[in-house]
Structures are given as structure tokens and as C-alpha cells.
Amino acid sequence: MPARILPAATLAFLLIAGNASAATPPWPRNATPAQIRAARKEFARQMTLTPSSPRPQGAERVYQEVFAAVDSGRLESLLQDMSGVRPVTADGKTFTINERYTPASKADYRAYWTQYFRGLGLTVSEIPYPNGNGNGEAQGHDLEAVLPGKSPDSVVIIVHYDSIGPSGPDNPGADDDMSGMAVLMETARVLAARRDELQRTVRFVASDYEEWGGLEGARAYARYLSNLSKSGHFKIVAAIDDEQSGWNEGGGDLFDYFDCGGATDSKELGNLLADTAAVYSRMRTSQGCMGENSDHYALWEIGVPAVVLSEHDPFNNPHFDQEGGDTYDRIDAGYHLRIAQVGAAFAARVAGLEPPAPKAARLPRPPRVRVPW
């Protein structure tokens, strides 16, 4: 997620208003260590530990199966691929994903992502849009892979794929945000295996230019999807933003979610995430508010309930974005898996799974009897 700063007057108002509506305080790229420490302290103050009980409903078998289907080996293999641990091959070209900042490296990454989703049998579209950030390319490029459900009404799972480092391309961005992308991709594999049970359509999105501030890629995708939903006569039910989820502060089982900070009420969605963690896992959750710091915000702007799923205290990670050093060796694989399991089960609950009714047993035909008259 980008280190953007809110206008001073806006930030002051939010801090005075208190935790109920406060947005996560980011810091500018040229922030002093004292500014960063103050922002991190305020971020921690805003978080609220979600009670682990009572548990409002019991576990449903189908979502237990989704939870259990998340595979640690596959999850970490994806994350290693996407953070430069080993070379990958896509479209007949072998390369290493050391960064996703330069146009050439981002193009390679899009080929890798597209190959993965087409391998799951999903339709993948590249959605270009005018790029206002420069960076040597006239267009930004979002990607969308669609897993159809029984209804065209759609759930969006969105993760940005770009990275940034101290001088631009010098950071592999393992935690921010290939840890979240690995969760998205493993969720896609698990749900694709149950596509006949899927009630709503799921749209997996890789957005561009999140790290530059302004959420250019997410906002371009939100405009695209809003227009598509109107012409296609379907609803955008909810959005899930899988943010960084592999750095474990303190080595515990606490992770954060953000369901407020924008104009669209997302408390019900946040409550469902907290319930999923409580019912299906041993993870504890901490709830907070977040402003214009990640791609969920663009969905809020078009009226879609959205929630951000994240490691605990993500802004306290000393190795992401312009601070550099966001490498795979700093990932806690077990913690990453536990968040991914909750994330996949949560996505399945939002999209809805309904196992097909068992077929009626066919009774054997009675033997033919010859009547002598």
C-alpha cells in the first residue's frame, strides 16, 4: 500500500473525531523518522481488538472444506515465483520477477498472471487506461479474470501488482503485495475447483499503479466495472482487498481488517470476516478504519461495500515500499497460510457455495414375470 499523506486539515479532523471514523494516517515519501513513528503510533491507537466470542453461527461443512483446501506449498510457491526467488516461464519466455515497477517487468508479470488464470479455465482481460504517472508508459494496465457463478451478480477480489522501492525498481515487494496476490490466486484455485457450486460471479483483479498514490489503476477498474454492471444489468455485491499478509509482528495469530473510513457502509461485510475467522480458525482479528491507502477505496467510491484483509500493523513493517528490503525471507509462511485460509473461506461465504443436491437413487427394475394365461 502506498505511503500517501492526507491534507493536514483533514487528518487533524479525523484524529479529533476519534476511532469511529478515523482513517489510517499515512506518511509522505519524504517523511522524517519522527513523522513515521508518530503515524505508526496513531495507526496502532485506532485499532480495536475484535471479541472472539460469542460465535453467532456454527461452521458449515462446505466452507470448512474451502478453508482446508488452501495449500501451503502452492501458496508459498506462488509467493516465491512473484518475489524473485526463482525464474518463471510464461508465453515461452523465462524471466525473474525481481520487481514490478518498470514497464517491462510489469508486462512480464502480467504474462505470468494471465497464464496462471487461463490455466484455471478463467477468461482473462487486460484493461488499459491512460497513465498519468509517467514512468515510461502512456497506459496503465489492469487485469481481470472472471469465474462465472450461477448469477452474474459479482464479488470483486482486488490486489495491486506494482511495487516500489527506495529508488523505484529496487524492491521485490514480497509482502506488499505479492503476499496478498498469492492469497488471491490460491483462493481462485480453490473456488475454481468448486465452480459448479458457485452462486455469484467472482472477478479477480490485478490493479496497476497503487504504489504511486491516487489509486489510478483501481479507480480505472472501478469505472470500467460500474459501466459494465449497468450495461450487463448485474449488481456488484462486495469487494475484498487482500493486502499484505506475510509479515508477522510479534509472531502471534492476530490480523487486521478495515471496513470503515469511506462513504460506503461496510460493517456487515467486516462482521462476516470477523465471524469467519472466529468460526473457522484460531486467528484473532483487529478492526480499524483506512482512508485512501489501498484499492478498496475505489470500490467504496462507486458504492460497493469493501473490506481490507491485512497482517497486523501493516504500516509498522520496516521493510516495505520506499524503506526497501521487502524480500521473501522476511515472510512468516505459517502466518501467511492462516490468513489465506480465512481469506479463502471468507471469499467463498461472500460469493456463496451451494453443493448440488444428491441425485435420487435409482431403484432396480422388478424382474419380469410371465403370466401363463
Q: What is the pLDDT of residue 26?
A: 56
Edge to edge, the sheet with strand 306-311 lists: 48-49, 284-289, 254-260, 306-311, 236-242, 151-160, 200-207, 139-147, 123-130
Q: Which CATH architecture has domain 53-351?
A: 3-Layer(aba) Sandwich (3.40)
Task: Read off the pTM.
Answer: 0.87
What would the grid cell of residue 9 be?
486539515
SS (H, E, C) the chain: CCCCCCCHHHHHHHHHHCCCCCCCCCCCCCCCHHHHHHHHHHHHHHCEECCCCCCCCCCCHHHHHHHHHCCHHHHHHHHHHHCCCCCEEECCEEECCCCCCCHHHHHHHHHHHHHHHHHCCCEEEEEEEECCCCCCCCEEEEEEEEECCCEEEEEEEEEECCCCECCECCCCCHHHHHHHHHHHHHHHHHHHCCHHHECEEEEEEEECCCCCCCCHHHHHHHHHHHHHHHHHCCCEEEEEEECCCCCCHHHCCEEEEEEECCCCCCHHHHHHHHHHHHHHCCCEEEEEECCCCCCHHHHHHCCCCEEEEEECCHHHCCCCHHHCCCCHHHCCHHHHHHHHHHHHHHHHHHHCECCCCCCCCCCCCCCCCCCCC
What are the backbone angles phi and psi of residue 204, rounded to the nearest 5°?
Answer: -90, 125
Bridge partners of 130, per DSSP, are: 139
CA separation for the pair 264, 11 (Å, rounded):
19
Contact 211, 321 (CB under 8 A): yes
CA separation for the pair 19, 346 (Å, rounded):
25
151 contacts: CB under 8 Å, gap ≥ 6: 199, 200, 201, 234
Domain map (residue ranges) of the chain:
53-351
As to burial, measured by CB atoms within 10 angstroms (0-12 exposed, 13-18 middle, 19+ buried), residue 51 is exposed
Q: Can you give the pLDDT of all 373 residues of the chain as single tens digits?
A: 664 333 333 222 222 222 333 444 455 555 665 666 676 666 666 666 665 444 545 679 999 999 999 999 999 999 999 999 999 999 999 999 999 999 999 999 999 999 999 999 999 999 999 999 989 999 999 999 999 999 999 999 999 999 999 999 999 999 999 999 999 999 999 999 999 999 999 999 999 999 999 999 999 999 999 999 999 999 999 999 999 999 999 889 999 999 998 888 899 999 999 999 999 999 999 999 998 989 999 999 999 999 999 999 998 899 878 888 999 999 999 999 999 999 999 999 999 999 777 666 565 665 554 544 4
Contact 123, 143 (CB under 8 A): no
Which amino acid is it at 76? Answer: E
Q: What is the pLDDT of residue 120?
A: 98
254 contacts: CB under 8 Å, gap ≥ 6: 49, 283, 284, 285, 286, 312
What would the grid cell of residue 343 be?
481469506
